[in-house]
Amino acid sequence: MKDVLTAPFMVEMIRTTTNMYAHGWDERNGGNISLLLDEAEVKEYLDVTQVLRTYEAGFSAPSLAGKYFLVTGTGKYFKNVQYAPDVNLGILRITGDGEHVELLWGYADGGKFTSEFPAHMMSHVERLKVDPENRVVMHCHPGNLLAMTYVHDLDEVQFTRTLWQMCTECIVVFPDGVNVLPWMLCGTNEIGFATADKMKTARLVVWAQHGIYGTGKDLDETFGLIETAEKAAEIYLKIAHLPLVNTITDEQMHLLEQRFGVKARPGYLN
Ligand code: 13P
Ligand code: ZN
């Protein structure tokens, strides 16, 4: 059996959490990540018949039965993952009934998966329907996007259009736009269902006055998706109080669609 700390998925998770902390997106225990793992790959590193603990999921996700995830722990700090991955991360398997979670590795101090587990698992369910390649659900608290939810209309078309107008490449990176949830109590099944519902039509879901969720096929791509939206929000906050002299027009957005072979969310451009 190979050392799980050398597994590419583990190395990438450690690098990503460290980088997210460095970006200021994950103060204290802020943020959480779940990464869908390949069963055959997990078996290279772990005896998957050895279950350390079993938890109640608190919801039912039968379509995830038998699937393996690497998940950040609740209350754990992204800045500490690199120093103690086995305390701050866990490798989990969803049981056959889709209602329990088996711990195969990690949470070595007796810990548990993130409190946002419902939003993560329900989002995996929905994104896998849209894109069978989706593996990552990432949540964090980037300052500019968060600030934007205090001063910008939360209408999804308006919010998306503003972000697209802030940097030329935004429409190329997230042509599906950004969906927005109003403030809701976090860590609940309710916000989990609401987030997953928003994931049917976009890979980015803003939680007003809280943070953002991004999804993608790998950690790098998902990080880049959030990074791009956060950069746009930063530009917005730099200019929102100034007279607007220039912008990216819808005509120019259509040129970007053609040049990069993307299609903007229907109805979002004139
Ligand atoms: P956890 O520490 O439970 O992952 O919660 C952090 C967070 O960002 C809640 O939304
Ligand atoms: Zn949060």
pLDDT of residue 268: 98
Distance between Cα 1 and ligand 2 center (Å)? 35
pLDDT of residue 66: 98
Report the number of secondary-structure helices (H) and strands (E) in the chain: 11, 9
106 and 144 in a single domain? The answer is no
223 and 109 in a single domain? The answer is no
41 and 96 in a single domain? The answer is yes
50 and 150 in a single domain? The answer is no
151 and 229 in a single domain? The answer is yes
pLDDT of residue 29: 98
| Ligand 1 atom showing the smallest separation from residue 32 Cα | 4
Task: State which residues form the domain around 254.
Answer: 116-270
Spatial separation of the C-alpha atoms in residues 179 and 86, rounded to whole Å? 34
152 and 93 in a single domain? The answer is no
| pLDDT tens track for 191-230 | 999 999 999 999 999 999 999 999 999 999 999 999 999 9
- Residue 190 is a catalytic residue: no
Distance between Cα 208 and ligand 2 center (Å)? 11
91 and 182 in a single domain? The answer is no
Which residues sit with their C-beta closer than 6 Å to ligand 1? Answer: 29-32, 72, 74-75, 114-116, 139, 186
29 and 138 in a single domain? The answer is no
Block means of pLDDT (10 residues each) for the chain, 270 residues, are 98 99 98 99 98 98 98 99 99 98 98 98 98 99 99 98 98 99 98 98 99 99 99 98 98 98 98
85 and 207 in a single domain? The answer is no
Domain end call among 115, 144, 164 = 115
pTM: 0.98
Domain end call among 73, 89, 115 = 115
- Provide the CATH number for the domain around residue 64: 3.40.225.10
Spatial separation of the C-alpha atoms in residues 90 and 87, rounded to whole Å? 8
**Residues flanking ion ligand 2, Cβ below 5 Å:** 211
Domain end call among 94, 115, 136 = 115
pLDDT of residue 71: 99
pLDDT of residue 234: 99
Alpha-carbon separation of residue 183 from 154, 162, 195 (angstroms): 10, 20, 12
Work out how many domains the chain is built from and give that number. 2
160 and 111 in a single domain? The answer is no
pLDDT of residue 187: 98
| pLDDT tens track for 223-254 | 999 999 999 999 999 999 999 999 999 999 99
Task: Please pick, among 44, 102, 116, 227, the residue that the annotation labels catalytic.
Answer: 116
144 and 270 in a single domain? The answer is yes
